Structure 1
Amino acid sequence: MTKRSKPVATRGRAVSKSPRVAAGELLTLLDFVRYAVSRFAEAELVFAHGTTDPVAEAAFLVCETLHLHPERFETFATARVTAAEGNKLLDVIERRVTTRKPAAYLVNKIYMRGLPFYVDERTIVPRSFIGELLDSHFGGDGAETGSLIDDPLSVENLLDLCTGSGCLAILASRNFPNAGIDAVDLSKDALEVAARNVGDYGLEARVTLHQGDLFGPIGGKRYDLIIANPPYVDAEGMAGLPRECRAEPKLAFDGGADGLDIVRRILDQAGQHLMPRGGLLCEIGRGRARLEAAYPRLPLLWLDTEDSDGEAFWIAAGDL
């Protein structure tokens, strides 16, 4: 449930009105998951918000509605639910089908790297690959593929652009325990959600939120590391967004005609805000070919994750 996923649609026929479920027909958590999977397939739902298939999404909704961590599903799979709990489960399953809202909005929660975060319609549902990359490429001696920063403890200033709900800034605070973090977003609404998450993790003294356009709010300040998950959906992609994604703020998706409007601005300005030994980690989705064509001389290092190939890049300050 913590991984970012590409939109996946189930196959089925046109949505039909849900048949009434008689009391007592569904008894266990597993029964409700099976029922939800059938409803999701019938409704041809799309899964693009942290879960990759209808089974994972159904288990997530069932567990969150019953206040169980999704990783505990197998422990309680055959446990019976009460009548009141059953009614709540049927309600949330039906709302997922009829509203087509992301499941995270229905339960106001998403998990990234195993940590829970609050989300609602004021911000995009976080599912960035950067969370995984912080662990795999910036963990010092423990990094899976070697760290792109020699000593994570030496990072004292970090900037998170387009922070949204603040999840990446909070995750980065774990990887770089000595860093003060500035987190910037254009959306006042998104920053209200970020403030709640920062407060939930007690990071008010380390994470400072700024409203504004990219580097605008931070003046001439320089950083040891900049991370960015900007809007990068191109015009064609915007026109074809599934209904679930259209429930999220358009501002968080729209990257212009070719998806690179914001990415270009970040690349063009990042060098002015990096320390000499710093670097930029940026996610751009499927725009690699277009970005390489636009910046043929930049030595961009493309990074893979468990669920992505070259959808994020690293570039050192000296190469900008």
Structure 2
Amino acid sequence: MAKTAARGGRSKAATSGSGRKRPTARVAAKAANSAVAGTSAPELETIFDYVRHAADRLQRAHVIFAHGTTDPVAEAAFLVGEAMQLHPDEVEPQATLRVPKAAGRRILAWIEQRIATRKPAAYLVNRMYMRGLPFYVDERVIVPRSFIGEILDSHFGGDDVLCLRDPATLTRVLDLCTGSGCLAILAARAFPNATVDATDLSADALAVAARNVREHGLDDRIQLAQGDLFAAVRGRRYDLIISNPPYVDAEGMAGLPRECLVEPRMAFDGGTEGIDLVRRIIDRAETHLAPGGGLLCEVGRCKPAIEKAYPRADLLWLDTEESEGEVFWIDAAGLDGLSA
């Protein structure tokens, strides 16, 4: 029987710096109002001026925001912050800071490139943030935007009403379909006593993951392996398996926006119903979980298909600040004999 867990409707975990982070209220409100009005010959001096101008250009060009930012103001603030070498949390407090000419030219070039190529902004600057941490990204990997990062913060330990596991007790973690390695890195930080195995079928993706692991100083705790799901970790068992696998169904694949077509197709395509890989993960997870372990998996809009395929599964659906029923948890005991 499926059930949903939420604290007061949704998790209260901080979203500062996450891959889906909204811009702070004041900059968003001011820039949004100015962007709608527009200006034919804007005088660009401060960070606020550039955010306003960039948001206006993006809005008028009808670009799609699906890669960690949710609207033109958020994306404009992200790009301006990168040009100014500011963390996303620093953009709003520095809104009145004057932008040097070189940084201004960089911002304007990125905006025009974003519009002309429809490449995600993260690819233009080779950076994306999750849970406040920066990660290198390029066209070899999907732009990271998983809800699992928030759940690692909000549902493991602490005073949470729903504590899945005490983080101190986790010693072995597996991240399937690691892509850029962001979730493996977040898991290593969340579980200080754990070593993390991170696998992916794509050698290109693992090259990006290796760079991120190295830049975060976690080479001694994260091991990368190439292979098809569990094939890369035969015989190993884990306290926690996490995965944000491809889960876009056939209808979704047919309607992907131009921005998403720049990303690796294999990172999206989940088959007709979107659950081809999710099925394989569920069917084999039990043999790779230690007693008391569990599987944490993101499935997008595929909840109905999962519940139809596994009507007896005791799935716990976890809400986050910006999602409802897109991530499930099931423990090792619940996986016993569950193969569809």
TM-score (norm 1): 0.92
Deviations 1:240-269 (A, max 9, x none): 111111111001000001000000000000
Q: Which amino acid aligns with 1:258?
A: E
Q: Find the counterpart in structure 2 of residue 8 from structure 1.
A: none
Match of residue 11 from structure 2: none
SS of residue in 1 equivalent to 2:219? coil
The reply to whether residue 258 of structure 1 matches residue 273 of structure 2 is: yes
> Which of the residues 189, 193, 199 maps onto 2:204?
189
String of CA shifts for 1:42-97, please: whole Å, max 9, x gaps: 11011111111110110000010111112111222122222222211111111111
Q: Return 70-79 or 259-268, whichever deviates more.
A: 70-79
Q: 1:285 aligns with which of 288, 300, 303?
A: 300
Work out the percentage of aligned pairs sharing the same amino acid: 65
> What pairs up with 1:1-320 in 2 under 5 angstroms?
1-4=17-20, 25-138=43-156, 140=157, 142-149=158-165, 151-320=166-335
Tell me by how many angstroms 1:148 deviates: 0.6
User: How far is the alpha carbon of 1:143 from its aligned partner?
Assistant: 4.7
Task: Please give the secondary structure, in 1, of the residue aligned with 2:290.
Answer: strand
User: Greater RCO between the two (CA within 8 Å, min separation 6)?
Assistant: 2
Q: Is the 1:136–1:143 contact (alpha carbons within 8 Å) kept by the matching residues of 2?
A: no
Q: Could you say what secondary structure the match of 2:293 adopts?
A: strand
Distance 1:84 1:174 in 2: 36
2 CA distance for matches of 1:27 and 1:202? 37
Contact 1:135 1:143 in 2 (8 A): no
In structure 2, stretches of 5+ residues that fail to align are 1-16, 22-39, 336-340
Structure 2 counterpart of 1:257, one-letter code? T
SS at match of 2:93: helix
- Structure 2 letter corresponding to 1:232: Y
Q: Provide, for residues 16-64 of structure 1, a one-character-per-residue CA deviation record: whole Å limited to 9, x for no partner.
A: xxxxx87x82111111111111111111011111111110110000010
RMSD: 1.6
SS at match of 2:197: strand
Secondary structure, in 3 states, of the residue corresponding to 1:237? helix
What SS does the aligned partner of 1:315 have?
strand
How far apart are 1:145 and its partner, in Å?
3.1
Distance 1:287 1:83 in 2: 47
Q: Select between 70-79 and 201-210 the one with higher mean Cα deviation.
A: 70-79
CA contact (8 A) 1:302 1:314 kept: yes
TM-score (norm: length of structure 2): 0.86
Q: What secondary structure does 1:215 align onto?
A: helix
